[in-house]
Amino acid sequence: MLDVLWKFWLYFGYFLTVAASGFFLYRLCTPFVRLRRGRFWKALLFLTLAGTSGMVIWIGDPNLLYTLPVFLALFFLSTRGDRVGRLAVCMILFCLEMSVCALLDTYVERINRDALYDVLVRMARPMVFGPLWLLLRRRLPREPVTLSRRLWKLVLGLAAMPLCALIAVVLLTFRRYESVEVYAVAMNQGMVVLPFALLTSLVLLLAILILADHERLEQAGRLAGLREVYYQGLRQQETQVRRLRHDLRNHLTAVRGLLEQGDEQGAIRYLDQMAGSPALRGTRRLCENEAANAVLTAKAEAMEREETVADFAVSLPRDLPVADVDLCALLGNALDNALEGTRGGTARRITVRCKADKGLFMLRVENTLGGEVKPDLATTKADKAAHGFGIPGMREIAERYGGTLDAGVRDDRFELVVCLPLVQNAAEGRHV
């Protein structure tokens, strides 16, 4: 009976330690990746992290080779977003988790080989993962971090270092049991390399947070540049209004003089010139969203200067769960490419349809094709007006928000369609 109770408490304690390790690792993981919607996927990620934290990993044991593909597959199933970023975070977490498991399973056995060995290594896991989470807790953001594809590739390349070191010290020492010398070398290597892999993984997580802060500052600079262009236009129009009001009496006197001289055509031309003044046309208002309206009005004026017919139907609320810089990039890149694609054509026309409805942001830009230039509306363009800051590509933005982008030639017209899910807690651009 006592033996049965002992085994019950042993297995129950094992379950608690695995659950505690999974909890700490889950809280450490979620600020770096976006989960799929639904409790099932959250539970799947939790079980993946908890289950792999209970894996027995010895130096010279092939369990690491079996665990890696399962961990990678389940991690990708339960998360969404940029594939390169997800792969980088997956590799970092795997190295962090497996280095701790390998250290505990291998070196606690050398200290204590009696019946308490299994209890000690199980209890030690949450006692290590918990402080690691507490160490980074104050630095972790509330929303998942977001980086450009270029920076995620950099992090992925750096994440390969602890992974290669972990594989080298754990898998490539499988012959340790055949020789006392090989065994001693393997143990010494593990004491040096495994802490290095653990420390490198923690440093990479901190590096991601630092790079995300840097991206946030860059996005603020880009948005400030767009707003500055918009407000400069408003100030110019206000100056023109004041000047027109001040000179209104002079204008009326000039018109009256032309009429008294019998120059009716001259008076009409003078009135037409006054009517065409931007001060009398007023400020355009294409939608309620300030950032989108700034981009749309600027592009509409550019289309007028190039004598391109513009058909706008935009319905966007004042607040959207999409970062302003991403919204400006989507609209600005699409309209720049559309305007470029119409050049050289006879009937130049651009149609813009954009609305936020039923939890979706939908953008459709269609333009007539001009000469031989057929722009790829899915590529990245740089907004040189935004003080030289690079604007992220449309496809990159669509993938980051879990949306879709489709572009191509249809019936002698080039068409772009973007669809993004509008989820309040997925707005990483408000800074993810």
Which segment of 134-143, 284-293, 367-376, 391-400 scores lowest on mean pLDDT? Answer: 367-376
| Total count of domains within the chain | 3
pLDDT in tens, 190-239: 888 999 999 999 999 999 999 988 878 877 776 676 667 667 766 766 67
236 domain-assigned: no
Q: Which domain holds residue 56?
A: 2-219
227 domain-assigned: no
232 domain-assigned: no
> In this predicted structure, what is the pLDDT of residue 215?
79
> In this predicted structure, what is the pLDDT of residue 46?
94
Query: 409 and 322, same structural domain?
Result: yes
Residue 12 pLDDT greater than 80, yes or no: no
> In this predicted structure, what is the pLDDT of residue 92?
95
Residue 404's CATH number: 3.30.565.10
Query: 297 and 338, same structural domain?
Result: yes
Mean pLDDT computed over 398-405: 83
Query: 364 and 263, same structural domain?
Result: no
Query: 309 and 165, same structural domain?
Result: no
Query: 415 and 325, same structural domain?
Result: yes
Query: 345 and 311, same structural domain?
Result: yes
260 domain-assigned: yes
Query: In the beta sheet, which residues pair with residue 80?
Result: 34
Query: 195 and 86, same structural domain?
Result: yes
Query: 207 and 161, same structural domain?
Result: yes
**pTM score > 0.75 for this model?**
no
Calculate the average pLDDT of the chain: 80
Query: 83 and 167, same structural domain?
Result: yes
Query: 256 and 332, same structural domain?
Result: no
200 domain-assigned: yes
> In this predicted structure, what is the pLDDT of residue 340?
84
Which of 201, 219, 237 corresponds to the end of one domain? Answer: 219
242 domain-assigned: no
> In this predicted structure, what is the pLDDT of residue 322?
84
Mean pLDDT computed over 396-425: 79
3-state secondary structure string across the chain: CHHHHHHHHHHHHHHHHHHHHHHHHHHHHCCCCEECCCHHHHHHHHHHHHHHHCCCCCCCCCHHHHHHHHHHHHHHHHEECCHHHHHHHHHHHHHHHHHHHHHHHHHHHHHCCCCCHHHHHHHHHHHHHHHHHHHHHCCCCCCCCCCCHHHHHHHHHHHHHHHHHHHHHHCCCHHHHHCHHHHHHHHHHHHHHHHHHHHHHHHHHHHHHHHHHHHHHHHHHHHHHHHHHHHHHHHHHHHHHHHHHHCHHHHHHHHHHHHHCCCHHHHHHHHHHHHCCHHHHCCCCCCCCHHHHHHHHHHHHHHHHCCCEEEEEEECCCCCCCCHHHHHHHHHHHHHHHHHHHCCCCCCEEEEEEEEECCEEEEEEEEECCCCCCCCCCCCCCCCCCCCCCCCCHHHHHHHCCCEEEEEEECCEEEEEEEEECCHHHCHHHCC
Query: 381 and 275, same structural domain?
Result: no
Query: 13 and 66, same structural domain?
Result: yes
143 domain-assigned: yes
pLDDT in tens, 119-161: 788 888 999 999 999 988 888 888 888 888 888 999 999 999 9
> In this predicted structure, what is the pLDDT of residue 432?
32
Residue 429 pLDDT greater than 70, yes or no: no
Which segment of 261-275, 287-301, 313-327, 381-395 scores lowest on mean pLDDT? Answer: 381-395
224 domain-assigned: no
